[in-house]
C-alpha cells in the first residue's frame, strides 16, 4: 500500500532532503513546532560548520550502562558529537540558539578523552609514549621488509624466475611474483597463485621481519584495548550525559539539515497557522520539473474542483495536501513566503488511487467506501479525494457523497475533491461553505492552461482532449452526435459562464487596482495639503513674531528720542502686520462660516465643533475638549443628528394585484431583487401563505442572490427548493 508521500509524489523530495542528515532518521520532530521554528530561523541567519556523519548510538549507550567495553571507533563517534558542540560554542550565535548551546556543559573527563584522538579518529601517539614507540618500530620494520624484497627482486640468482621486479601486495602481504621452479633459486612460501600459473611468494629471509611486525601489531592492539577499557569506564560514569548529547545531536541534525536543504534549493519555511485556511502564492510542487506556480485560497470546508481533463486538477489537490504536509513537518518549499499561509491539521488523508483489488475481492466503489468509513473516526483532518464518483453511477454517488461530506464536515474535516461530473457540483453549488474551482482551457490553442478560476464549475472538454491525443476527427464528431445536442448546449453554457466570470473578475481586479491608485493619490494630496497648511501656519506665526519684535524696537527708539529711525522701524512693523493679515486671509480663500455641530479638522485630527465664541472655538477630538483659534479649523461635514420620529399609524389596503408565482429567468441580480421585493410585498398584503419563485438553475449565481435575499427578509417563515426541480424555490410567509 502506498504511503502518503508516495501518493503526493514527494518521495524524491524527501530522499533529497535526507541526504543532508548527518545520521539517518525519520523527518518528523517531536515537541513544540513553534520552538523548533524559532531555532531553525535563528540557525538560518548564520554560517556554521558542517556536521560529521555519526550513526545513532542508542545500542552503544545501552552497552555503556552495562559497563561494556566499546571499540575505539564507537568511542570516537561520541567524541565527534562532543567536538562539534564545542565548535558551536566558539561562534557568535543568535538567540535562542545561543542559550541552548551554552547550556550544554561537557564534563572535563569527557573533554580530556577528546585530546587522545587525532582528526582521523585514531589514538594520538603524542599522548602515549608507548604507542609512539610501537608505531615507530612498525614503520622501521616495514621499511626493512620492503628493502629486503627490493634487493631480492634485483638479485641475479632469481632473475630467470621473476615475472617482474615489482613488490606485490596480496591480502596485506608484500610478495614477489615468480614462475614455476623458483624453489631452485630461493626458499619461500607460496601466498597465492595467478590464473596464468604464476606464484606470489614470501621469501623465508623476510619471515622473521613479518613475525616481528605481527608481534608489534599485537602490542598495539593490546594498548588500544587498555585505553578502550579506560575510556569506557569514564563513559559509564557519565552515561546520562552521553545519552543527552546523542539526543541533542539528533535534534541539531534536524535543524541543520532543513537549513542547508532550504539554502541549496532556495526554499522557504512556512510555520503552520492556528487557522484552518490555506493560501498558496507562487507555490511550486517539488515533483514537477518546470512547474507553473499555483495561487489558490482555501478558506471553506469543501473545495470542489471540476474542469478540463489533464488540466491539473489532481496536481492542485496534491499541491494543497503537500503544502500542509511539508509545513506540518517544517520542510521548506518554493513559494511566496510573505503571501503564503498554511493551516494546522491533526492528520492528512489522500484518497487518490484506485482501491480495486482482485486478491481481496473488492471493487473500486467498495474500496472507496472502506476509505470513507475510516474518516468517521477522524477529527481536525484535511482529506483529498481524486475522482470522487469513481466506480459507480455518478448520479447516485453524487447524492451519497453530498450527505457524507456534510456529516464529515461537522467533525472539523476539510475536503479537496476533484470530479468530472456536474451532478455533485450542482448539488453543492448553493452551499456557502463550498468553494467551486474550475480548471481552465485555452479555446484558441486547444490546450489546458493549468490555471484555475474560483467560484465556477468547469467543463471537462473530453472530446477536445481525445482529439488532442490522436483520436480521429470523424470519431469525435460522431461521438458528439451520440452525446446529444442538449447536453452539448449545457456544456457550452457552462463554458460561456466560466468565460464571462473570468472576464468579469479581470475587470474587477483592474477597477480595484485603479481605485487603489486613486485612493493613494487622494491620500498623498491630503498629506501635501496638511503639510502646506502646517507650513502656512508657521509662516504666519513667524510674521507675527517679526511684527511684535519690530514694534518693540520702534517704541524703544522713540522713547529715547523722537527720530526718523523710530518712525521707520514702526512702519516696517506695520508692513509685517499687513503681510500676516494677508496670509491669514489667503489661508482659507473659500472659508465658510462654521457653526456648532459641524465636523471639522484641526491640524491632523478630526472632531466636532461644539461652540463658537468670537475668534475662538470649542471642539471635541477623540473625547477631549479644547479651545482653539477658529481660523485653524477646516469644515469637513455635518454631524448627523438622530431625531425621534413621531409615532404614525399606517393603514395598508390590498391592491388586488398579488400573484402566487414570479418568473425571474434572465434577470440581472439587481433587477431580480427589485421585482422579488415588490412581489413579496404584494403577497403579504394579499394574505398569501405560500408562493413560488422561478429562477432556473443556470450557473447558480441568480439562485444564490435570491437565497441570500430570502435569508434576510423579515416576514418569511421558511423556504426550500422544489423536489425534482432545482430551478424553483417555495417560500412560506
Query: pLDDT tens across 157-215, in order?
Result: 888 888 888 888 888 788 889 888 888 888 888 888 988 889 998 888 888 888 898 89
* Strand pairing report for 381-385 and 414-418: parallel
Can you list the pairs that 389-392 forms with residues at least 24 positions away whose Cβ atoms lie under 8 Å? 389/419, 389/421, 389/424, 390/354, 390/364, 390/365, 391/354, 391/356, 391/363, 391/364, 391/365, 391/366, 391/367, 392/364, 392/365
Please state which of the four CATH numbers 1.10.1420.10, 3.30.429.10, 2.60.40.10, 3.40.1360.10 is assigned to the domain occupying 127-223: 1.10.1420.10
Structure-model confidence comparison of residues 592 and 70, the more confident one: 70
Per-residue pLDDT tens digits for 48-92:
999 999 999 999 999 999 999 999 999 999 999 999 999 999 999
- The residues that bridge with 447 in the sheet, in sequence order, are 442
In whole angstroms, what is the distance from residue 376 CA to residue 365 CA?
A: 17
| Mean pLDDT of the 374-399 span | 81
Report pLDDT for 102: 93
Please state which of the four CATH numbers 1.20.58.220, 3.40.50.700, 3.40.50.300, 3.40.50.720 is assigned to the domain occupying 278-483: 3.40.50.300
In whole angstroms, what is the distance from residue 270 CA to residue 263 CA?
A: 15
Before 364, cis peptide (omega within 30)? no
> How many other CB atoms are there within 10 angstroms of residue 21's CB atom?
19
Report pLDDT for 359: 41
Which of 699, 673, 705 lies closest to 455 in space, CA to CA? 699
Q: Which of 16-25, 473-482, 561-570 has the lowest mean pLDDT?
A: 561-570
User: 621: part of which helix (H) or strand (E)?
Assistant: strand 616-621
In whole angstroms, what is the distance from residue 513 CA to residue 525 CA?
A: 18
Count of all residues that appear for the chain in the document: 733
In whole angstroms, what is the distance from residue 294 CA to residue 288 CA?
A: 12
pTM above 0.75, yes or no: no
Q: DSSP of 646-662, one letter per residue?
A: PP--------S---SEE
Please give the class, per CATH, of domain 661-732.
Answer: alpha beta
| Residue 712, C-alpha cell as written in the block | 434576510
In whole angstroms, what is the distance from residue 630 CA to residue 697 CA?
A: 63
Tell me the pLDDT of the chain averaged across its residues: 82
Contact 329, 465 (CB under 8 A): no
Per-residue pLDDT tens digits for 232-244:
999 999 999 999 9
DSSP H helices, 2-71, are 4-7, 11-18, 33-43, 58-65
In whole angstroms, what is the distance from residue 601 CA to residue 526 CA?
A: 12
Q: Which residues contact 252 (CB under 8 A, 6 or more apart)?
A: 51
Q: Which residues contact 386 (CB under 8 A, 6 or more apart)?
A: 313, 314, 317, 351, 352, 418
In whole angstroms, what is the distance from residue 723 CA to residue 729 CA?
A: 9
Report pLDDT for 435: 86
| Residue 137, C-alpha cell as written in the block | 618500530
| Mean pLDDT of the 14-28 span | 94
Report pLDDT for 358: 42
pLDDT band at residue 431 under the 50/70/90 scheme: confident
Report pLDDT for 626: 80
Q: What is the sign of the dihedral through the CA atoms of 140, 146, 148 and 150?
A: negative
| Residue 163, C-alpha cell as written in the block | 615475472
Q: First vs last Cα of the chain: how many Å apart?
A: 56
Lay out the sheet containing 598-602: strands in order across: 624-629, 616-621, 605-613, 598-602, 633-638
- C-alpha 114: how far from chain center: 42
In whole angstroms, what is the distance from residue 143 CA to residue 180 CA?
A: 28
| Mean pLDDT of the 370-377 span | 86
Q: Which residues contact 27 (CB under 8 A, 6 or more apart)?
A: 14, 17, 18, 329, 331
Lay out the sheet containing 199-203: strands in order across: 168-170, 173-178, 199-203, 188-193
Torsion of CA 420, 423, 426, 428, to 10 degrees: -90
User: Domains of the chain: which residue ranges?
Assistant: 4-107+238-265, 127-223, 278-483, 590-642, 661-732
In whole angstroms, what is the distance from residue 325 CA to residue 97 CA?
A: 26
User: 521: part of which helix (H) or strand (E)?
Assistant: helix 485-560
Contact 324, 382 (CB under 8 A): yes
Burial of 691: CB neighbours in 10 Å, binned 0-12, 13-18, 19+:
buried
Structure-model confidence comparison of residues 231 and 727, the more confident one: 231
Report pLDDT for 557: 67
In whole angstroms, what is the distance from residue 258 CA to residue 261 CA?
A: 5
- C-alpha 526: how far from chain center: 39
In whole angstroms, what is the distance from residue 118 CA to residue 125 CA?
A: 9
- C-alpha 610: how far from chain center: 53
Phi/psi region, residue 600 (left: phi>0; alpha: psi -120 to 50; beta: rest), is beta
Q: Distances in Å between the alpha carbon of 43 and those of 36, 158, 296, 528?
A: 11, 67, 31, 45
Question: Using alpha carbons only, how large is the chain's radius of gyration in Å?
Answer: 44
Q: DSSP of 149-199, one letter per residue?
A: HHHHHT-GGGTTTBS-SPPEEETTEEEEEE-TTGGGT--EEEEEE-TTS-E
Report pLDDT for 629: 84
Measure the CA angle with vertex 663, ends 662 and 668; round to 5°. Answer: 120
Report phi then psi at 605, rounded to 5. -110, 150
Q: Which residues contact 9 (CB under 8 A, 6 or more apart)?
A: 285, 287, 318, 322
Structure-model confidence comparison of residues 387 and 325, the more confident one: 325
Per-residue pLDDT tens digits for 462-517:
555 566 566 777 776 776 666 555 455 555 555 555 556 656 767 877 888 888 88
Strands (E), 374-433: 381-385, 414-418
Lay out the sheet containing 661-663: strands in order across: 661-663, 690-694, 725-732, 718-722
Report pLDDT for 115: 92
Please give the class, per CATH, of domain 590-642.
Answer: mainly beta
Buried b / exposed e along 63-97 (16+ C-beta atoms within 10 A): bbeeeebbebebbbbbbbbbbbbeebeeeebeeeb
Per-residue pLDDT tens digits for 254-310:
999 999 999 999 999 999 998 889 999 999 999 988 888 999 999 899 998 887 666
Amino acid at each position: 500500500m502506498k504511503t502518503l508521500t508516495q501518493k503526493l509524489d514527494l518521495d524524491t523530495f524527501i530522499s533529497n532532503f535526507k541526504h543532508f542528515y548527518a545520521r539517518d532518521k525519520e523527518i518528523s520532530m517531536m515537541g513544540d513546532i513553534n520552538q523548533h521554528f524559532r531555532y531553525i530561523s535563528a540557525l538560518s541567519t548564520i554560517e556554521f560548520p558542517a556536521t560529521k556523519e555519526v550513526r545513532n548510538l542508542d545500542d552503544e549507550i545501552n552497552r555503556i550502562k552495562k559497563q561494556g567495553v566499546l571499540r575505539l571507533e564507537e568511542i570516537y563517534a561520541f567524541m565527534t558529537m562532543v567536538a562539534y558542540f564545542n565548535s558551536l560554542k566558539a561562534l557568535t550565535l543568535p538567540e535562542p540558539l545561543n542559550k541552548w548551546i551554552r547550556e550544554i556543559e561537557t564534563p572535563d573527563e569527557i573533554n580530556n578523552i577528546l585530546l587522545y584522538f587525532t582528526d582521523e579518529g585514531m589514538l594520538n601517539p603524542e599522548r602515549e609514549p608507548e604507542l609512539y614507540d610501537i608505531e615507530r618500530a612498525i614503520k622501521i620494520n616495514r621499511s626493512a621488509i620492503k628493502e629486503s624484497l627490493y634487493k631480492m627482486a634485483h638479485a641475479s640468482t632469481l632473475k630467470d624466475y621473476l615475472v617482474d621486479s615489482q613488490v606485490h601486495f596480496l591480502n596485506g602481504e608484500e610478495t614477489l611474483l615468480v614462475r614455476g621452479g623458483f624453489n631452485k633459486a630461493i626458499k619461500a612460501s607460496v601466498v597465492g597463485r595467478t590464473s596464468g600459473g604464476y606464484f606470489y611468494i614470501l621469501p623465508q629471509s623476510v619471515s622473521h621481519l613479518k613475525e616481528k611486525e605481527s608481534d608489534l601489531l599485537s602490542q598495539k592492539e593490546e594498548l588500544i584495548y587498555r585505553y578502550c577499557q579506560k575510556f569506557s569506564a569514564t563513559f559509564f560514569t557519565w552515561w546520562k550525559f552521553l545519552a543527552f548529547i546523542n539526543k541533542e545531536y539528533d535534534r541539531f541534525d534536524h535543524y541543520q539539515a532543513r537549513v542547508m536543504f532550504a539554502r541549496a534549493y532556495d526554499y522557504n519555511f512556512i510555520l503552520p497557522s492556528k487557522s484552518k485556511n490555506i493560501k498558496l502564492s507562487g507555490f511550486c510542487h517539488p515533483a514537477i520539473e518546470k512547474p507553473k506556480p499555483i495561487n489558490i485560497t482555501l478558506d471553506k470546508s469543501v473545495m470542489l474542483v471540476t474542469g478540463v481533463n489533464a488540466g491539473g486538477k489532481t496536481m492542485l489537490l496534491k499541491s494543497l495536501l503537500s503544502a500542509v504536509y511539508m509545513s506540518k513537518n517544517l520542510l521548506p518549499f518554493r513559494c511566496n513566503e510573505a503571501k503564503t499561509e498554511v493551516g494546522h491539521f491533526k492528520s492528512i488523508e489522500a484518497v487518490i488511487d484506485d482501491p480495486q483489488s482482485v486478491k481481496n475481492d473488492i471493487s473500486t466503489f467498495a474500496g472507496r467506501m472502506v476509505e470513507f468509513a475510516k474518516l468517521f473516526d477522524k477529527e481536525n483532518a484535511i482529506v483529498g479525494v481524486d475522482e470522487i464518483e469513481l466506480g459507480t453511477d455518478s448520479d447516485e454517488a453524487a447524492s451519497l457523497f453530498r450527505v457524507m461530506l456534510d456529516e464529515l464536515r461537522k467533525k472539523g474535516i476539510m475536503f479537496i475533491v476533484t470530479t468530472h461530473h456536474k451532478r455533485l457540483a450542482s448539488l453543492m453549488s448553493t452551499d456557502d461553505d463550498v468553494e467551486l474551482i474550475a480548471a481552465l482551457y485555452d479555446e484558441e490553442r486547444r490546450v489546458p492552461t493549468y490555471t484555475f478560476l474560483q467560484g465556477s464549475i468547469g467543463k471537462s472538454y473530453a472530446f477536445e482532449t481525445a482529439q488532442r491525443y490522436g483520436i480521429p476527427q470523424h470519431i469525435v464528431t460522431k461521438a458528439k452526435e451520440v452525446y446529444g445536442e442538449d447536453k452539448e448546449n449545457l456544456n457550452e453554457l457552462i463554458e460561456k459562464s466560466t468565460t464571462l466570470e473570468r472576464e468579469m473578475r479581470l475587470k474587477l481586479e483592474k477597477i480595484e487596482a485603479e481605485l487603489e491608485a486613486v485612493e493613494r493619490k487622494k491620500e498623498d494630496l491630503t498629506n501635501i495639503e496638511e503639510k502646506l497648511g502646517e507650513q502656512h501656519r508657521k509662516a504666519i506665526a513667524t510674521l507675527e513674531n517679526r511684527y511684535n519684535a519690530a514694534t518693540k524696537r520702534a517704541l524703544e527708539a522713540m522713547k529715547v528720542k523722537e527720530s526718523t529711525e523710530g518712525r521707520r522701524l514702526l512702519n516696517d512693523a506695520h508692513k509685517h502686520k499687513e503681510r500676516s493679515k494677508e496670509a491669514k486671509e489667503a489661508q482659507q480663500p473659500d472659508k465658510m462660516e462654521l457653526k456648532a455641530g459641524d465636523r471639522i479638522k484641526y491640524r491632523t485630527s478630526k472632531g466636532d465643533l461644539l461652540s463658537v465664541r468670537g475668534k475662538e472655538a470649542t471642539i471635541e477630538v477623540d473625547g477631549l475638549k479644547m479651545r482653539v483659534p477658529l481660523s485653524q479649523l477646516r469644515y469637513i461635514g455635518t454631524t448627523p443628528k438622530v431625531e425621534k420620529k413621531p409615532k404614525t399609524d399606517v393603514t395598508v389596503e390590498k391592491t388586488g394585484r398579488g400573484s402566487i408565482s414570479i418568473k425571474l429567468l434572465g434577470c440581472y441580480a439587481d433587477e431580480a431583487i427589485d421585482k422579488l421585493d415588490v412581489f413579496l410585498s404584494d403577497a403579504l398584503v394579499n394574505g398569501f401563505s405560500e408562493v413560488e419563485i422561478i429562477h432556473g438553475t443556470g450557473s447558480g449565481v441568480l439562485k444564490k442572490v435570491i437565497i441570500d435575499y430570502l435569508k434576510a427578509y423579515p416576514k418569511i417563515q421558511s423556504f426550500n427548493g422544489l423536489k425534482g426541480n432545482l430551478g424553483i424555490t417555495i417560500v412560506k410567509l
